[in-house]
A and B are shown apart, each in its own frame.
Chain A
Amino acid sequence: MSETDLIDAVLDRHRRDGTRLMQILREIQEQLGWLSPATLTAIAGAIAWPRAKVEGTADFYSFFYTRPMGRFRVLWSDNITDRMLGSSDLMSAMCKKLWLEPGRVSEDGLVSVDTTSCTGMCDQGPALLVNSRAVTRMTQARVGEMVSLIRSETPVAEWPAEWFAIEDNIRRKDILLDHGLVPGQALAAALERGPQGMLAEIKSARLRGRGGAGFSTGQKWEACRSAAGHGADPARYVVCNADEGEPGTFKDRVLLNSYSSLVFEGMSIAGLVVGAKKGLLYLRGEYRYLLEPLQAALEARRRANLLGSNILGTAFEFDIEIHLGAGAYICGEESALIESLEGKPGRPRIRPPFPVTRGYLDQPTTVNNVETLAAACLIATHGSDWYAAHGTEKSTGSKILSVSGDCERPGIYEYPYGTTVRQVLEDCGASDYQAVQISGPSGICLAEAEFDRRIAFEDIPTAGAFMVFDETRDMFEVARNFAHFFAHESCGFCTPCRVGTTLVRNLMDKIARKHGSPYDIDELFKLHRLLQGASHCGLGNSACNPVFDTLNKFRPAYEHRLMSLNYEPAFDLDAALSQARQMTGRDDAGAHFPDEAEA
């Protein structure tokens, strides 16, 4: 098949619909390796979009390549938990064996090695993606074998299957993970209750969003249900947010791997309540390997009359489609996610209007977290009284935590809301602990004095990440890793976040080089205050949280790095000469500026 035929086939499959651009780009890239200028022109022509708009989308996402890439593309997960398991050394070893600089494609176009944001394998790292497939538990031995396979150009499909094995690591089950429901049971119960009755049940169960913000699910569904559709083709939509990008979070991966029936059923229940006929599951690109199994699961549900028309013999009609993301943390924000679903860069929208009135394709849309939708099945089946008997007054039900870092048993832990941090630490076998980062970089960093606090919306709300750091860990380096993460993931739309996240990253790097001073600490606080108030969305608002928390709670980790001066320029004279040294091949004392301390 020629390139043109191949592109045409993909475009036809998506009805030349521009709102499906993300899927069009991905499918074409999977076959051609990259998105060439000519390919983008062809796509733009076919979907009748301005070419620059197509390029704008292709250019936004980490996993779309507008330049030729290696035939083997290795991306090391760069979360702090991967680093704690030795990923940096392993990646360096891989680069050395391949004679490769990180981020560069080898001269022969064979391979490239780089880092990527957390791939959601924190309990089984160090992890990487090779040609979009997830590999876990990397070791020096595996690095050696992998390099041989790359050199011999062995297709990834023929690599040892155990490298791609991904464990659920479920360590503690509660009401959700131990649900005991059979497919269709919750949906039948919801159909029995009817849309109004089901909504009332969700409301009286006081279910709140599991993505971290804790907005009332009943209120969201009700607002969507009562909003009128717009235009010639009015509709409502249910969107399941499976863009689990918060570093340290991986519970949605496990839910989608082993509990997809519950998730799809929750989406169907949401569809019933809000009056939607279509649901979209937005799956993060890092979980590409889940696409085929999930599609098979959807097919099975269609065969079982749990999706499609006349569901379970009623007039209810609903179906689900999976959209794959392409590497952008910001798409976890619901309006950015909707932009992405429409084929555009993931830029958070101006709100109001909120998605419940104007969301996907400008129609009323409810966007819910994977875990929230799964929990709705429990309420449909057992009722609100039963559900609200679990957890606390303001946080009913249970919460799934993704535990990683310094502990004996990392993995998935489900607890009733109200469980203390200390309890979780005990259960996962953590000892000599120093700190816990809850809800990822955008969440909160706790020191030991706070370990009696509780996982609940009224105390510590969380999307689920729970990263443990023992006494040996340098909390400054933890915060610096997170600062790099935000600088990499800022969408670039608003000034404070676009420039501020990079300024914060540079200040942290300056302090790491031991060139920092108390002045730089003040600068970090100043940027925190600016980003928190002036940013367009939650990413910018929370981007300085890890720096702020660690500065307040682990100040010595910063202070021992500072020079005892009030001000130190970021510009390093000696470092500025490094290029000249490289070009002249000199590294003697005369090619360096004298050390100020000695001079």
Chain B
Amino acid sequence: MNATTTFHLDGEEIPFTPGQTIMQAAVAAGTYIPHLCWHPDFQVNGSCKLCTVKVNGRFGSSCTMEAQVGMEVENRTAEIDDKRRTLLQMLFVEGNHFCPSCEKSGDCSLQATAYELKMMSPHFDMFYPDRPVDASHPDVLLDFNRCIMCGLCVAASRDVDGKNVFYMGGRGLLGRRVHISSESGRLADTGFAVTDRAASICPVGVILPKRRGFAVPIGQRKYDLAPISEQVKVKTP
């Protein structure tokens, strides 16, 4: 490793290869930067803003900013985690998230990140939006009450499955939603299959396989075993 290509993340020296984003370099080094819409396998989206960091005194998204030699990046400071907590609260109140009855509880990135950042309450008034549930597909249930607009299903269906079943459209708080590519708007009328990558990509509990509930008991699920910050996937060279 060339000693000149490093930057500082909360004082820790992080190596990077030119062109890598701050997030990519941090993950490669096994360091956790909170995030929801970023995924190592897909094109960067940059919408959730959970990965906001302070670079040389200015805020920016670590998933979109390229690492530069000698950068001073603040990550888990009280100031930034406080902003992240507010962003999480925003995501919780704009949808309908009832963790105790959700099949994804314990495997959910939103919930795990909220635990990580010690979010104790939704803080804001709930919006209780009227969002649809689509049970039309024989094998997959869609519950948009839990959608956080990360766009990962859009990317997976487009880039891996080559099906373009989903697309992010609409405007603003009430309008923004995942569109389903059929005239009826129903998932059953698309070519979607439970084996699609998009069927297993959802970080929250929108896209769920039918007839499979609580196969892993609560208490033994992914984020029950270790907090999300300790499960950064280190890529082996």
The residues of A that contact B169 with a CB separation of less than 8 Å are 52-53, 55-60, 345
Interface-side segment among A151-159, A464-472, A486-494, A582-590: A486-494
| B182 close to A (CB within 8 Å) | yes
CA distance A145 to B49 in the complex (A): 51
B164 closest partner in A (C-beta): A50
Per the 8 Å Cβ criterion, residues 337-382 of A in contact with B are: 345, 350
Whether the Cβ atoms of B172 and A55 lie closer than 8 Å is no
B-side contacts of A489, CB under 8 Å: 172
Tell me the A395-442 residues at the B interface (CB within 8 Å).
none
Number of interface residues of B (CB under 8 A): 40
Contacts of A500 in B (CB 8 A): 90
Contact present for B167 and A56 (CB under 8 Å) = yes
Are B49 and A536 closer than 8 Å at their CB atoms? yes
* B64 CB contact (under 8 Å) in A52, A56, A350, A526: A350
* Residues A53 and B170 in contact, CB atoms below 8 Å apart: no
Tell me whether B229 is interfacial, beta carbon within 8 Å.
no
Is B115 in the interface zone, CB < 8 Å from A?
Answer: no
Quick check: A492 and B180 within 8 Å, CB to CB?
no
B41 within 8 Å of A by Cβ? no
Residue of B nearest to A535 (CB): B49
In A500-531, the 8 Å CB interface with B consists of: 500-503, 506, 526, 529-530
Residues of B contacting A503 in the complex (Cβ-Cβ under 8 angstroms): 90, 124
B44 within 8 A of A: yes
Cβ of B5 to closest chain A Cβ, rounded Å: 19
The answer on a CB contact under 8 Å between A487 and B46 is no
Nearest-neighbour CB distance to chain A for B177, whole angstroms, equals 8
Number of A-B residue pairs, CB cutoff 8 Å, is: 126
A115 to chain B, nearest CB (A): 15
Cα–Cα, bound, A207→B61 (Å):
32
B 89-108 contacts with A by CB, 8 A: 90-91, 93-94
Among B75-126, those with CB < 8 Å from A are: 83, 86-87, 90-91, 93-94, 124-125
Please, how many angstroms separate the alpha-carbon atoms of A495 and B183 in the complex? 29
Residues 132 to 180 of chain B near chain A (Cβ within 8 Å): 149, 164-173, 175-176, 179-180
Bound form: Cα–Cα A529–B59 in Å: 11
Q: Are A494 and B165 in contact (CB under 8 A)?
A: no
Contacts of A345 on B, CB cut-off 8 Å?
169-171
Closest B residue to A345 by CB, please name it.
B169
CB B71 to nearest CB in A, in angstroms, measures 16
With A506-B125, A571-B125 in contact, is A52–B173 under 8 Å at CB?
no
Identity of the chain A residue whose Cβ is nearest the Cβ of B163 in the assembled complex: A50
Which A residues lie within 8 Å of B172 (CB)? 487-492, 498, 502
Partner pick for A60 among B61, B170, B180, B181, CB 8 A cutoff: B170
Which residues from A are CB-within-8-Å of B125?
A: 506, 570-571
A197 at the interface (CB under 8 A from B): no
Known: A495-B48, A499-B90. A55 touches B83 (CB 8 A): no
Q: Which A residues are in CB contact (< 8 Å) with B90?
A: 495-496, 498-500, 503
Evaluate contact between B173 and A492: CB separation under 8 angstroms.
Answer: yes
Cβ of B48 to closest chain A Cβ, rounded Å: 5
Q: How far is the CA of A503 from the CA of B89 in the complex (A)?
A: 11
- In-complex Cβ contact of B183 among A37, A487, A490, A506 (8 A): A37
Verify if A533 is at the interface (C-beta below 8 Å from B).
yes
Which chain B residues lie closer than 8 Å to A502 at the CB level? 127, 172-173
A residues less than 8 Å from B124 (CB atoms): 503
Query: Contact: A534 with B167, CB < 8 Å?
Result: no
Q: Does B52 lie at the interface of the complex (its beta carbon under 8 Å from any beta carbon of A)? A: yes
B91 and A56 contacting across the interface, CB-CB below 8 Å: no
B59 touches A498 (CB 8 A): no
Asked if A41 CB lies within 8 Å of chain B CBs, one says: yes
- Chain B residues whose CB sits within 8 angstroms of the CB of A58 once the complex forms: 169
Contact residues in A for B185 (Cβ distance below 8 Å):
37
> Which residues of the partner chain B approach A59 to less than 8 Å between Cβ atoms?
169-171, 175, 179
Bound Cα distance from A571 to B167, whole angstroms: 35
- Does residue B47 face the partner (Cβ distance < 8 Å to A)? yes
A534, B81: Cα distance in complex, Å: 12
Q: Is the CB of B47 within 8 A of A494?
A: yes
Q: How far is the CA of A503 from the CA of B172 in the complex (A)?
A: 12
Partner of A498, one of B83, B94, B164, B183: B94
| Residues B164 and A534 in contact, CB atoms below 8 Å apart | no
CA distance A129 to B83 in the complex (A): 41
**A51 at interface by CB-CB < 8 Å:** yes
Query: Smallest CB–CB gap between B64 and chain A, Å?
Result: 5
A506 to B126, CA, bound (A): 12
Docked pose: A328 CA to B170 CA in angstroms: 12
Is A38 engaged at the interface, CB distance under 8 Å to the other chain? yes
Contact indicator A534/B170 (Cβ below 8 Å): no
> Is there contact, CB below 8 Å, between B93 and A530?
no
Other-chain contact of B179, A56, A496, A501, A506 (Cβ < 8 Å): A56
CA distance A345 to B180 in the complex (A): 16
Among the interface residues B61, B90, B171, which one has the most CB atoms of the partner chain A within 10 A?
B171
Cα–Cα, bound, A535→B52 (Å) = 9
Contact status A499-B164, CB under 8 Å:
no
Please name all residues of chain A whose beta carbon is closer than 8 Å to the beta carbon of B47 when the two chains form the complex: 493-495, 536
Query: Given A498-B173, A571-B125, is A52 in contact with B86 using a C-beta cutoff of 8 Å?
Result: no
Q: List 17 A-B contacts (CB under 8 A).
A: A37-B184, A50-B164, A52-B181, A53-B167, A55-B167, A56-B167, A56-B168, A56-B179, A59-B175, A345-B169, A490-B172, A494-B49, A495-B47, A496-B87, A530-B87, A533-B52, A536-B46
Point out residues on A near B: beta carbons under 8 Å.
37-38, 40-41, 50-53, 55-62, 328, 345, 350, 487-496, 498-503, 506, 526, 529-530, 533-536, 570-571
A-B pairs, top 9 by smallest CB distance, nearest first, are A56-B169, A492-B176, A52-B167, A50-B164, A533-B59, A499-B90, A52-B181, A52-B179, A59-B170
